[in-house]
Each structure stands twice: as structure tokens, then as C-alpha cells.
Amino acid sequence: MGEGGEFEKLTSLYNLEQLRKLLPTCIDVNYCSLSKRVLHNILPRLRSLRVLSLSQYHFKELPNDLFIKLKLLRFLDIS
């Protein structure tokens, strides 16, 4: 997901606090990105999340506070 409007598109996830799996897909294989705004503001609200796949997004670093709030997370794919 590119920077243009991705946060607004994903704000519907705010209401899905009981979501257990999040497996976002990337439409353009050559360009996959997820903004820091999404990582800091949306993902930490998904406290029931057990499976998170961020493969193909090529992160150099992830925020520590993300994992503190996702206490039930059992599977993380960052390949």
C-alpha cells in the first residue's frame, strides 16, 4: 500500500478490535509499503491479533511499542 490515502483506507480497522488474523496483500509486487502512521496508530489497537503477516513490505525496523500491545500475537511474518 502506498502512502497516498492508505491510512484513511485502513481506519475501518479501528472498529475491529477482536480481529485475530491480519494478512494484508500487496497489489504491486515491486512496491509494497506501509506507513509508520499505520504501524503506530492502527496495528496496536488490534489487541486480539494472533497472526500478522507483513511479508513483502521490507521493513528496516518496526516500533517496539507495537509488540508490547500485541500480547496475544503468536505468529509474525516479516519475510
For the chain, the domain total comes to: 1
Residue in the structure block whose three cell numbers are 507483513: 54
Residue 22 parent element (H or E): strand 21-22
CA distance 29 to 54: 13
Indicate whether 20 pLDDT > 80: yes
Indicate whether 14 pLDDT > 90: no
Within-domain flag for 1 = no
Q: What is the pLDDT of residues 22-58, one digit of tens each?
A: 888 777 766 677 777 778 878 888 899 999 988 887 7
> What is the average pLDDT across 2-24?
73
Within-domain flag for 12 = yes
CA distance 54 to 52: 6
Quote the radius of gyration of the chain (alpha carbons, Å): 12
- pLDDT at res. 9: 65
Within-domain flag for 44 = yes
Within-domain flag for 63 = yes
- pLDDT at res. 2: 46
Within-domain flag for 13 = yes
Nearest Cα to 48, choosing from 65, 14, 71? 71
- Tell me what the pLDDT averaged over the chain comes to: 79
Domain that holds residue 37: 6-77
CA distance 72 to 50: 5
Within-domain flag for 29 = yes
